[in-house]
Chain A
Amino acid sequence: MNGHSDIEEKLRKIQCSTPGEVDERILSDATAEFERSAKVQVGRSRRIIVWGVVIVLLAALVVFLMRRGEVKQERPQVTSKQEVIQQSEQPDIAPAPKQPETTQADKPVRERADVSPDTSGQAKLAHISSLAAAGNVNGLTAILETDDFVSKMAAVKFLSKMSDPRAAAALNELAGKLDPDDPEDYLLADALGVEDFGMPEEEPQEVKTEQESKMAAEPNIPEDEEEQPVGQYATGWLTDVNGYTLEGKIHVGRKEAATDTNGMFSIERPSFAEFMSSFGYAVSDDGQLGAVFHWRQDEDLNDIEIVCMPFASASGSVVDVNGQPVSGFQMEIVPDVNEQLETGARGEFKGPWEIKIETDGSFEISSIPAGYPLVLVVSKDGSRARIALDEPEPGEHLPLGEVVLEAVLEEDSIPEGG
């Protein structure tokens, strides 16, 4: 480009300028735009600063709350592992922890000698915790004798977690001494798991350990029921045929559970000890829909969908072989499982149906869940009739006509009826 130096020089000399009024117009417009932009910039900066301050304050608040939470968690802990070991090596009655010298001499002795007479709640809790950690049942039991409510509550908590019979006995004894007029005793009763504490005409209930209380908290579980491993629950939801969730109740064996507002249920798995205990039924809260179902022992009982349909109904009359009306018979509906009916281990199954029997032998059955094969069994004095209801259609009425009771030829066989 050296060859163009002349023309470059010539061109560089050209320098034009704008007239003064044009300059003023441009500067005026540019200044106005500059001010407007500066204002926006200031507003933006202020917003950034405000948000920055807010974020910093929130972060500080979070840190503060986290630290506070950590401190709270650390408080009830045992002071050191060495102390626990020392406590466990001591006899049942533990010595008081180290106290400030000035307060010890002046304070009246309220507590028993085996209880820490200190003034600090934290020290008391640490002392009780160390007793619990050392398994010192007698030490904890002695605390129950004191008037210090906080210590008693702590001791109750620890004792209720112990499996030692002495702990249960001490808690039972304490439960018997509770005064319904004392507000503190209400709290103790609550901690002990005493139900209906303070209610008239009630005997003090037996205090249970934590495991016993947990089991007792489960609704409708008979005491003779086989013990279930914790966490073995069947879960799922009730729906109608359109897939909408329903609120209702579910019964499996002798267990019952209600759904939440979303139709979800959680019920303890059946024991499968008796065949019928694995059958269940569900009924919607409005009583219009229901279902019968059967769970197998090897079945995955998580997220089960139970579809409820409109109930079916049935009616008819029971007669003998001569066609005469029969009264005083027994009638039941069972799931259609022949082989299990012939064994003695089938158990009972009570469904949602309602059976009305008139004196002339006529009967009406309502609330029969649709969609599952059922059998109507009528029996009286060695005579029996068995009518298969098959799978009733939703909302269907089954006219069963005359159900003839026939004598059972062999003890274990059930003749077909209807």
Chain B
Amino acid sequence: MLEDCQVLWRVNHGDKQALREVYLKYKDSMYTTALALLNDYSAAQNILHDAFVMFAKDAPGFGLYRPVKNYLAECVISLSQEMLRSKMYKVEEVPRTSGIFLENEDSADEASQQQNTAMVMEAMAKIPQPQREAVALHLYGGLNFRKISQVQQVSVTTAQSRYSYGLEKLAGILDRQVEA
């Protein structure tokens, strides 16, 4: 938090390098969140782009003690919901894994990581949207249930239930995929 505060102070004073640091720090978690929500790498990249441009716009007056992670996660969920609400976008169950670049650079594990990621994203696409949001925001966005409940405009218990049911369904789907 203190680190964020220092970076934000620099951002407030027009330091472009600080802006870059913020981007590099949060881009992967936000990208993964968007990907988990939409199961489309291209759409996830667009959402990541829009979310960071929004942050850059607000950055000169961004509060030093305002959590950047929450801000970006809210942007991602809001943009994702907007995209889904437009009805022009449908979450595909079969992700295009060619766009997924994994953190692990070990070439031996890369193939299995890509496969795992593809399986998880495919499973995520099969669970209901509210549960998918709860899982993505908690696991990848790093939001706590109180914050998720605010984003989803439900009670904390409901957010926790959605997360729990989502995980249960995901476990079942992934088990079936492994068996298959």
Contacts and interface: CB of A to CB of B under 8 A. Distances in A.
Interface of A: 1, 4, 6-8, 10-19, 22-23, 25-27, 29-31, 33-38, 40-41
Interface stretch (B46-54, B76-84, B148-156): B46-54
B101 A30 contact: no
B64 interface: no
B92 interface: no
Nearest to B139: A11
Closest 7 CB pairs of A and B: A30-B56, A34-B56, A41-B60, A4-B167, A7-B171, A33-B56, A38-B60
B101 A37 contact: no
Given A8-B167, A15-B102, A26 B58 contact: no
Nearest to B104: A15
B167 to A, nearest CB: 4
A36 to B, nearest CB: 8
B43 interface: no
Contact of A12 (B56, B101, B121, B139): B139
Given A16-B117, A37-B60, 18 more contacts: A1-B163, A7-B171, A11-B120, A14-B117, A14-B140, A15-B32, A16-B31, A17-B31, A18-B27, A18-B48, A22-B48, A26-B52, A29-B53, A30-B19, A34-B11, A37-B58, A38-B14, A41-B60
Contact of B23 (A23, A40, A41): A23
Given A1-B167, A30-B55, A17 B103 contact: yes
Given A1-B163, A34-B59, A37-B59, A18 B103 contact: no
B89 to A, nearest CB: 19
B35 interface: yes
B19 A16 contact: no
B28 interface: yes
A106 B64 CA distance: 75
A41 B58 CA distance: 10
A16 B28 contact: yes
B57 A34 contact: yes
B170 interface: yes
Given A15-B28, A26-B23, A37-B57, A7 B167 contact: yes
Please classify how large the interface on chain B is, using the bins under 10, 10 to 19, 20 to 34, 35 or more: 35 or more
B20 A27 contact: yes
Contact of A37 (B24, B52, B56, B117): B56
Contacts of B5: none
B32 A16 contact: yes
A30 B35 CA distance: 20
Interface string B1-42: 000000000010010100110011001110110011000010
B72 to A, nearest CB: 12
B174 interface: yes
Contacts of B57: 33-34, 36-37
Given A7-B170, A30-B56, A18 B45 contact: yes
A26 B102 contact: no
Contacts of A35: 16
**Interface residues of A, dominant DSSP:** helix
B116 interface: yes
B23 A27 contact: yes
Contacts of B53: 26, 29-30, 33
Interface in B124-170: 135, 139-140, 160, 163-164, 167-168, 170
A10 B52 contact: no
Contacts of B52: 26-27, 29-30
B146 to A, nearest CB: 15
B63 interface: no
Given A7-B170, A22-B45, A33-B57, A14 B120 contact: yes
B130 to A, nearest CB: 17
Contacts of A34: 11, 16, 19, 56-57, 59-60
B71 to A, nearest CB: 14
Contact of B32 (A14, A30, A33, A41): A14
Contacts of A4: 164, 167-168, 171
A269 to B, nearest CB: 67
A11 B14 CA distance: 37
Contacts of B68: none
B67 interface: no
Nearest to A1: B164
B91 interface: no
Contact of B16 (A8, A12, A31): A31
A37 B167 CA distance: 41
A55 B23 CA distance: 41
Contacts of B139: 8, 11-12
A19 B139 CA distance: 22
A7 B117 contact: no
A17 B113 CA distance: 12
A39 to B, nearest CB: 9
14 contacts: A7-B167, A10-B120, A11-B135, A12-B139, A18-B27, A18-B31, A18-B45, A18-B48, A18-B101, A22-B45, A26-B27, A30-B19, A38-B59, A40-B60
A31 B60 CA distance: 11
B170 A11 contact: yes
A6 B23 CA distance: 30
A7 B168 CA distance: 8
A25 B49 contact: yes
